[in-house]
Structure 1
Amino acid sequence: MTPKNPGHRGGFRAPTAAGILLLLTLAGCATGTTAAPGAGAPPSSSVISPAATAPAPSSATAAQTSTAAATPPAEAVAPPAQQLPAVLGASAPVTLSIPSIGVRTDLLHLGLEENGSLQVPEDTGNGAPAGWYSGSPAPGERGPSVVLGHVNALGGHKGVFADLRKLAPGAEINLSRADGSTAIFTVDHGALYPKNEFPTLEVYGNTPGAELRLITCDGYDPATGLFDDNYVIYAKLKA
C-alpha cells in the first residue's frame, strides 16, 4: 500500500486508471455493448442487394416458394430464461474472518481519492484493519465485493493480509454484516499481478453471482522499499 506514514514500506496502490474504470464498471455503466479497449470495433453488418446477386427464380422454384409461403411456420419455442445465482440483500460489512489463517478484523469503509485511486487503510502504528471499498457491492450482493488489506505493518510487523498466499481453494471467508447476517464465501483461486498490469475489469467487473475480492501487496523490492505486485484472492458466495 502506498505509505501515508514515514518509514512504512510501500504497498498497495490502485492505479489511477483503475480507479476511473471502477466508477464505470461498479456503477453498472459497463453494459457489454461497447467494444472493450484493444478489442477493436464490433463487425458491421454487410448489406447485399438481392437483386444484384441472386438469379431470377425458375417457374418450379417459384411454385415451391409459393407452397412454402402458404404453410404456416411451426410455433417458435422461446429459450428458457437464464437462472442467476441466489444472492443476499444489501447490508454493509462489519467484520471479516478467515479461520484457516487466523485472521479476524473489523472493516473500515473506504472510498476513492481525488485522483480516482482507491483509498487504503492507514496504519497509525499498531497495524491497520482491512477496509471494504464502499463503491463495490456489499458482501453477498450480486457482483464483486472488494476488501483491501496491508501485507505489512509499521515496525516490521505482519499486516492483516500477510498470509493471503496461504489460502487454498475451498477455504472459507466469513463477513458479518450490519443486519446481523453472515455472508460465507469459499476461495476459488488466487492470482499475482504486476501493479502496472493490474487487470481492472477482471477484478472489479460485474459477475452473475455474489463474489469477493481480497487485495494486498506482494513482490517486495528491498532496493526500493516498495512492493511491485498485487495479490488477489477470488472467492464465491457459499451461503
Structure 2
Amino acid sequence: MTVIAPRRRAGLLASAAAGLLLLSGCAGNPGPEPSAGGAPPASSAGQSSASSLAASAAPTTAAPIPAAPAIGSPAALPASDPVSLSIPEIRAGSELVKLGLRENESLEVPPDGPGAPAGWYSGSPSPGERGPAVLLGHVNAVGGGPGVFAGLRALRVGAEISVLRTDGSTAIFTMDRAAAYSKDAFPTLEVYGNTPGPELRLITCDGYDPSTGLFNDNYVIFAKLKS
C-alpha cells in the first residue's frame, strides 16, 4: 500500500497524516557479493533490478518534540542542497541526485545500473540542517556488481561521512550506530523522527532471499554532525 511521503524539511515528523519512506527495491540479477557482505551472490535471473521506494504505514501518534542539542554539539548549518557524498573508510563516494515525489505521491528512486549515484530525499532536511537528512542508495546494480551503498555493512562506529553542499561547505558526520530492519516492521519514528541536532541516515537494502530474489530488510546507518 502506498501512502503520501513527508514534505517536512525541519525533520521527518511522523504522524497520522504523513507517510514515511521505506527502501523496498534492489531485487533481481544482483551480481557478485561485495566485500561488505550485504548483497547476495551472483544470479542469472533475467528480471530487472530497477528499485522502487514504497511507503510504510504511518504511525498514529506524532513523534515527541526533541530536546535541545547537547552543550558542545556543533550548531546546525543553514539549508544547502547536497552535491556529493564521501565515505573514506569503505572507499565509497557518489554524486548525489535529488529525489522528490512522483505524481502518485510515491517517492522517486535513485538511478540504477553500474556506477549509479545515491540520492537525497529533498523532503528531508539538507545534510547539516537540524533533523535527519535521508540519503538512499542501491546495494547492487543492474547487470551485476555492487551498488553505491554495497559497503555500508563494513562501516564502523566513529567512521566519518562527508557531504559536500552547494554553498561550498562540507558537513562531516560520524557514524553513531547501524541496524537492519525488516521491511514488514520498519521503525519509522526511530529512523525518520525529529532529532535534537543535525543527523544523517544512509539507507540501502539488506536481507537477500535467494528463493525469491528479493531483499526483505533495510540497512540503516545513523550518523551525527561532527563539524
Q: TM-score scaled to structure 1, two decimals? A: 0.69
Q: 1 CA distance for matches of 2:56 and 2:102?
A: 9
| Relative contact order, higher structure (CA 8 A, sep 6+) | 2
Q: 1 CA distance for matches of 2:68 and 2:141?
A: 46
Does 2:225 match 1:202? no
Deviations 1:189-212 (A, max 9, x none): 100000011111111110010000
Q: 1:143 to 1:185 in 2, by over 3 A?
A: same
Q: Which runs of 5+ in 1 are unaligned?
A: 34-80
Q: 1:16 to 1:116 in 2, by over 3 A?
A: farther
Q: 2 CA distance for matches of 1:182 and 1:82?
A: 23
**Superposed displacement of residue 11, structure 1:** 5.4
Deviations 1:116-175 (A, max 9, x none): 44321121x434200000000000000000000000001111000001000100000000
Report the number of matched residues.
183
Partner of 1:234: 222
Partner of 1:106: 95
Q: 2 CA distance for matches of 1:160 and 1:192?
A: 18
Partner of 2:165: 177
Which amino acid is the alignment partner of residue 103 of structure 1?
Answer: A
Partner of 2:48: 8
**Superposed displacement of residue 10, structure 1:** 7.0
Please report the RMSD computed on the Cα atoms of aligned residues, expressed in angstroms: 2.7
Which amino acid is the alignment partner of residue 88 of structure 2?
Answer: P
Q: TM-score scaled to structure 2, two decimals? A: 0.72
Larger Rg: 1
Structure 1 residue ranges, 4+ long, deviating more than 6 angstroms after superposition? 3-6
Q: 1:3 to 1:99 in 2, by over 3 A?
A: closer
- Which of these residues, 195, 198, 203, is aligned with residue 215 of structure 1? 203
Secondary structure of the structure 1 residue equivalent to 2:54:
coil
Q: 1:114 to 1:224 in 2, by over 3 A?
A: farther
Q: 1:8 to 1:143 in 2, by over 3 A?
A: same
Q: Which runs of 5+ in 2 are unaligned?
A: 1-23, 29-45
Q: 1:9 to 1:122 in 2, by over 3 A?
A: same
- Which of these residues, 13, 17, 36, is aligned with residue 57 of structure 2? 17
Task: State whether residues 69 and 196 of structure 2, in contact with CA within 8 Å, keep that contact through their aligned partners in structure 1.
Answer: no
More helix by percentage: 1
